[in-house]
Amino acid sequence: MRALIQRVTQASVRIGGAVHGEIGRGFLVLLGITEGDTTDEARYLADKIVKCRVFADANDKMNLALADVSGGILIVSQFTLYGDCKKGNRPSFTGAAGPETAIPLYEAFIARCRESGLPVETGVFGADMQVELINDGPVTLWMDTAEMRPGASKRKTNY
């Protein structure tokens, strides 16, 4: 499971021209799911994101989490996070899980984020969406649960 997390001052997702979800200060989370991902990974990743301390404290240090700044989360499914561009000029998306696997895990991730009590908005899985954001900082983080699986390589990945 992969997440691209962007610290934002505002973000929204539109479907068919209408706003489906929007937040003020917080995180825009683009979430990709692959075969073999589990509910435990969805919960773990949600907890890591909710507790991620990248908002400035009184000393201008990245030391505050979403709850500390009354932030929200906008979660958007993003199968293209598993795009493979190694061969040719057209990415392969065979690494992305199919809907039968991905939808329940996407929903488990959303549910776990909502358990935090933070405001959580979403896109619609599989929909054609337009995402607008103002990246604050900019601060953009990448998290991949493959790095925490037993036996997984701990090497740094460059994309």
Active site residues: 80
Cβ neighbours around 25 below 10 Å, total: 17
* Whole-number Å distance between alpha carbons of 79 and 95: 9
Which of 88, 72, 71, 90 lies closest to 80, judged by CA?
90
Residue 83 token pair: 């795009």
Cite the DSSP H helix spans in the chain.
Answer: 39-51, 99-115
Tell me 59's DSSP state.
T
